[in-house]
A and B are shown apart, each in its own frame.
Chain A
Amino acid sequence: MAAVNAGTSPDRLTVNGAEIASRLWIGTGGLTNLQTIVDVVRTARPGFVTVSMRRTSDLGEGSLLDALAGVLEETGARLLPNTAGCLSAREAVLTANLAREALGTAWVKLEVIGDERTLMPDVVELLDAAETLVRQGFTVLPYTTDDPIVAQRLVDVGCAAVMPLGSPIGSGLGIRSPHAIEAVRAAVTVPVVLDAGVGTASDAAQAMELGCDAVLAATAITRADDPAVMAEAIRLGVRAGRLARSAGRIPRLTGARPSSPMSGRVSG
């Protein structure tokens, strides 16, 4: 992997040829207060801010999208429409097209869930929708399970990244299966973005240590007691995990090893 440069050139992420300014991405789901998301984006300076196009149709003055537009301009973050809440490929494709028309972007975070209770991805519909949208010229970033084979299949149909879940949406349970996330990382060459499950900064750090290229956090930030402070914490978590990954951790051993060598000591 590319070394994280400590000084000169910043550690930039590239997705489908586009430079993404930050490895922390932010979701607006769980939002309770419009001013909060503006403060959060200002603090976190995320690469992307995702917004549900099925739940947000208002582009007018004072709307969520209007407020976001201002702070995106200010911070250089990009808007990423998502298809949250869609239950079939057909619905997701339609929603992505509406988003492209309304927002003028052909990038989409593709979500097709199996039901509204578990919010787990329906990978059969997801693959179908991904294939269609890629053919329609979209840059598709799918929210998927932590399954390396599904991840490969998504890349096969032309997805620009994969976004496996750490644990169910909104659960804050962190990464329940670190091995699976590592396996997804090993299975594909496109960027891997940990999506869903982040509850706090250490979860984001762990994702980066496992080799993810970026982390998306939504309710962990929007529902924190102090969202702007949590945004900063998770931003630092992402950074810390990225540095730790590039620094190369020591192996996990079963016994103690002295931290200062006992032999070769200068003595006498």
Chain B
Amino acid sequence: MRIAVLGAGIVGLACAAELLRAGHDVRVFDPAPASGATHAAAGMLSPAGEAWHGEENLLRLGVESAGLWPEYAAWLESASGVDVDHRRAGTLLAGRDHDDVQVVRRTLDLLAAHGIEYEELRQRDLREREPELSTRVCGGAYLPGDHSVNPRRVSAALLALLGDRVEHRNAAPSTTPSPLLAPGEDRPASVEGVRTEDGRLVRADAVLVATGHQLPPQVPQRRHVRPVRGEILRVRPPSGQAPTQTIRALVHGEPVYAVPRAGGEVVVGATQEEHAGDPMPTVGGVARLLDAARTLLPGLERAEILEVLARHRPGTPDNGPMLGPTGVHGLYLAAGHHRGGVLLAPVTARILRAHIESGSPDAANAFSPSRFDTSERMSRWTSLSTAN
């Protein structure tokens, strides 16, 4: 099949590489590949650490994808020659004070209910596992199944695999109205390809939209993806003072994580805020992150700040991604991965490949885009505020 992919973030790239591997004729369009959320992501493959009540389907999808990662990383590295810094040391969950530890325990209860492995640790055991932790950390747990990769290296590897199939251009799905449309109905019925920003029509049998937090107007579900700002830093502590595994913690109620990278860098993240406009890092957000991080890991006190940045996560109403057919024939969606696009990339690629190859209009997965209403309406906000 001829398949056009819009968006070269980790999601679009993983899908494109999977389809290429399956022998399809793939083209990818993105004016600035791998510069969106993927560029900011910490790269935690952390389904257990992200578990939350009411999001059990997402937890299951995350666990499935985490299970694919070891083989996926090995394949990527051998096919592209790029080391993706896949780390399997596990993750520590830590609570700074007693209240924080109570919240951690609540997560552990949820994991227990889903049969996910963890080991609860007392203060001393925590610090034995991670000597860089503050003496004041009160308790936590070890999550052996929560690993990490470097998402920038993953996208570099995927870009290397795709080579000149990636075109540095904006594009939008190009649709044709169905001949069977009733008068007055204007929902396009099928996709003929993509139209690039310079006006070219690139014909395709299927178009996959993976443009992150902003979906093109041709996608009926576009209003269900919203920007959720995240701020994040990269620092380099003095040699020997970087943690040796991912640490996710609550520090007096403030969530923070530290993810070690090859070469001694540490990623410190991340804030989360409902915010429109450009994703700029703020003084307040960065101050809170740094405060929490150096309370957790005193060795960061003299770390060099290498980078401070903010990007938009693609949020959806239920925090789960939208994977599969959109209702417009030939138009597929892989978007809304919110906090877990890196973790979910391999399973997303598999699911989308199955949908595109089968061509069936119904998405038999819990994350079908069809779970959201696609009726057209005015911004509800405008109508409400005038009615008040």
Contact = CB atoms under 8 A, between A and B. Distances in A.
Given A56-B274, A225-B53, A69 B384 contact: yes
B317 interface: yes
B221 to A, nearest CB: 9
Interface in B199-235: 222-227
B324 interface: no
Contact of A60 (B252, B318, B379, B386): B379
A104 interface: yes
B381 A226 contact: no
B24 interface: no
B276 A60 contact: yes
A45 interface: no
A60 B388 CA distance: 18
A24 interface: no
Contacts of B277: 57
B227 A34 contact: no
A78 B388 contact: yes
Interface residues of A, number: 34
B380 A62 contact: no
B298 interface: no
Contacts of A16: none
Contacts of A62: 223-226, 315, 317
B186 to A, nearest CB: 19
A105 B385 CA distance: 8
Which of B275, B381, B383, B388 gathers most chain A CB within 10 Å?
B381
Interface of B: 52-55, 222-227, 252-253, 273-277, 315-319, 379-381, 383-388
Given A56-B274, A69-B381, A70-B380, 11 more contacts: A33-B52, A35-B319, A57-B275, A58-B275, A59-B379, A60-B276, A62-B224, A63-B274, A73-B384, A79-B388, A170-B253
25 contacts: A33-B318, A33-B319, A34-B319, A35-B318, A38-B317, A58-B226, A58-B276, A60-B276, A60-B379, A61-B223, A62-B224, A62-B225, A63-B226, A63-B276, A66-B223, A66-B381, A67-B317, A69-B380, A79-B384, A79-B388, A104-B388, A170-B253, A225-B54, A226-B53, A227-B54
Complex A-B, nearest 4 residue pairs according to Cβ-Cβ distance, in ascending order: A61-B223, A58-B276, A104-B385, A62-B226
